[in-house]
Amino acid sequence: MIKILEISTKKELKQFVKFPFTLYKGNKYWVPPIISEEVESFDKLKNPVFEHADARFFLAYRNGMIVGRVAAIINKVEIDVQKVRRMRFGWIDFIDDLNVSRALLDKVIEIGRMHQLEFIEGPLGFSNLDKVGVLTEGFDSISTMITWYNHPYYAEHFKSLGLKPAQKFIESNFHIKNVDIEKYKRYASLIKDRYNLKAINFKTTQEVMPYAEDMFDLFNTSYAKLSSFVPVSDQQIAYLKKKFINFVNPEYIKFIIDKDDRLITFSITMPSYAEALQKANGKLFPTGFMHLLKAKKSSKASVFFLIGILPEYQRKGVTAIIFDEFFKTFKEKGVEKMIITPELEENKDIQLIWKNFKPQVHKRRCTMRKDIN
Q: Where are the domains of the chain?
A: 3-172, 174-364
**Non-local CB neighbours of 176 within 8 Å, separated by 6+ positions:** 327, 330, 335, 336, 337, 338
Q: Establish whether domains 3-172 and 174-364 are of one fold.
A: yes
**Non-local CB neighbours of 121 within 8 Å, separated by 6+ positions:** 86, 87, 88, 89, 166, 367, 368, 369, 370
On whether the 3-172 domain is CATH 3.40.50.720, my answer is: no
CA 213 from chain centre, in angstroms, equals 19
Confidence (pLDDT) at 171: 96
What digits encode the pLDDT tens for the residues 241-282? Answer: 777 777 788 999 999 999 999 999 999 999 999 999 999 999
What digits encode the pLDDT tens for the residues 196-231? Answer: 999 999 999 889 888 888 888 898 888 777 666 777
Q: What is the CATH number of domain 174-364?
A: 3.40.630.30
Q: What is the CA radius of gyration of the chain?
A: 21
Confidence (pLDDT) at 226: 66
Confidence (pLDDT) at 228: 60
What digits encode the pLDDT tens for the residues 285-302? Answer: 989 999 999 998 899 999
The torsion angles phi and psi of 204, rounded to 5 degrees, stand at -130, 155
Listed as ranges, residues in the chain with pLDDT below 70 are 226-228
DSSP state of 248: S
- How many Å from the N-terminal Cα to the C-terminal Cα in the chain? 25
